Amino acid sequence: MRQRLKEELLDVPADQQQKLVSYMVDLCGNAPKKDAGSPRIPGPVVIIYSCDRLITNLLSAACKADELAVFTTDNETDLDPIIDQTLAKKASPVLIIDSFGTDEKYSRLINTKLSAYKTLSVIKLVSGDIDSSLAALKDGVRTIFPKPDINKSKVGFAEGSISFTESFRSYMQKNSFSHDADIPLDAFNRCIHELGIAQEIPDLSFALLKFISEIFERSITFIVTNGELIAERGIGIRSDKSTGATAPLRFKVSLAPLSVFQKAIDDLKISFEHGEDEALRSLYKEIGPPAETRVLVVPIVSFGRVIALTYADFGAKAATPAPTDMIASLSKHASLIFDNILMRKKLEKQAQ
């Protein structure tokens, strides 16, 4: 096995080769032994469509280590028979598409498969820019994964490949792939449109707030200032979300060092986790606590600094899986447009 793996890593520096080979051998060696006498809950069936042998081997090893059935192919004509076989066994198919052609080719493939198989989940691997990722999400993929690219960087390639594989394992372990977990594609496309035509900064945060409210029962936009948050518009706050957005709420929440808010500010990325901290307790004095402690916090970043946060929870309802990858992509898109608006305003002011 080691020799076969090394042959697939000829373009990788020797020290990087050794790290990757050792990782994959350990991953395969740690796969649980099958015990015919102990039943297990069936997971999704993973179908990997890729011409990249290393990517295929990494993801296959990850699936086997976590006892997930996996099929691999580099031929598009193989996909339908594999998906049909999976559905015949009452299992949930998850198709992983590794980009090795034009975006147009994969847009067609994704739309064809999702139209033919309503219960299919699609994950796309990308090494391109955010526009390619957003286009894939608009086509209906469940999530996107940035894959390691040896052509962009040989230094740290092994570490990046290992991180990619472990992130994939974590995602598969934490997410449900039943058809009940519908992704709000219409709302996503509306949000993309609204972000694209936004002329003022409040338009951006409101478009993101409306999308998040499609998934969560309560949501609020906060302006981030020194040491505190100022509540702006909310949906589902003090009344059902069907009544629409509130006027600016204007109450303040003090930041705490270990709060979910401060974590999002420090990490510059969204979080969707259980939270019980002083900042949340301060917030709940204003809006009441949710039934469950799992909350979403989404930052809008401008030139490396968080200037706004969107908070969301499930209110009185039970928590459900959320398309955090989709929300993260919208947040990044909003941040880029935010910077463009600021630059435009600065140039307009200079021209006056």
Average pLDDT value for residue range 83-106 = 84
The widest CA-to-CA distance across the chain, in whole angstroms, is 79
Average pLDDT in the 148-161 region? 74
Q: Provide the token pair at 201.
A: 């900064």
CA distance 10 to 151: 13
Give the strand pairing for 143-146 and 93-98: unpaired
Range from 63-72, 181-190, 271-280 carrying the lowest mean pLDDT: 181-190
Is the pLDDT confidence value at 267 over 60? yes
Q: Which residues, 6 or more positions from 311, have their beta carbon under 8 angstroms from its beta carbon?
A: 219, 220, 222, 261, 283, 295, 296, 297
Looking at per-residue confidence, does 234 or 53 come out higher? 234
Structure tokens at 104: 């147009």
Mean pLDDT taken over the chain: 84
Residue 82's pLDDT band, with cuts at 50, 70 and 90, is: very high
Tell me how far apart the alpha carbons of residues 92 and 176 are, in angstroms, rounded to a whole number: 10
pLDDT tops 80 at residue 271: yes
Out of 181-190, 237-246, 296-305, least confident range: 181-190
Separation of CA 214 from chain center? 16
Q: What integer pLDDT is reported at residue 174 of this predicted model? A: 76
Residue range 211-217: mean pLDDT, rounded:
94
Q: What is the pLDDT of residues 116-143, one digit of tens each?
A: 988 899 999 987 667 777 888 888 888 8
- Side-chain half-sphere of 126: how many Cα atoms within 13 Å? 21
Closest CA to 110 of 145, 70, 138: 138
pLDDT in tens, 335-346: 999 998 888 888
What is the side-by-side strand order in the sheet with 143-146? Answer: 70-73, 45-49, 93-98, 121-126, 143-146
Q: Token pair 């994969």 is at which residue?
A: 106
What confidence score (pLDDT) does residue 201 get? 84
| Mean pLDDT along residues 21-37 | 63
CB-side exposure of 210: number of CA atoms within 13 Å?
A: 18
The pLDDT of residue 154 is: 60
Are residues 32 and 67 in contact, defined by beta-carbon separation less than 8 angstroms? yes
Confidence class of residue 9 from pLDDT cuts 50, 70 and 90? low
Contacts 24+ apart (CB under 8 A), 3-12: 5/57, 8/53, 8/54, 8/57, 9/54, 11/150, 11/154, 12/150, 12/154, 12/157, 12/158
| Residues 184-194, mean pLDDT to the nearest whole number | 84
Length of the chain as a residue count = 352
CA distance 216 to 202: 20
The residue among 158 and 277 whose pLDDT is bigger is: 277
Distance CA 6, CA 21 (A): 7
Percentage with pLDDT > 70 across the chain: 86
Comparing CA positions, the residue from 91, 145, 134, 142 lying closest to residue 114 is 142
Reading the block at residue 204, the tokens are 């951006």
DSSP-derived secondary structure letter, 90: T
| pLDDT, tens digit, 9 for 90 and up, residues 288-331 | 999 989 999 999 998 889 999 999 999 999 887 788 888 988 99
d(CA 275, CA 52): 40
DSSP state of 245: B
Q: What is the pLDDT of residue 301?
A: 92
Model pLDDT, residue 33: 47
d(CA 132, CA 129): 6
CA-nearest of 228, 232, 234, 230 to 212 is 234
Backbone phi and psi for residue 334, each to the nearest 5 degrees, phi listed first = -60, -40
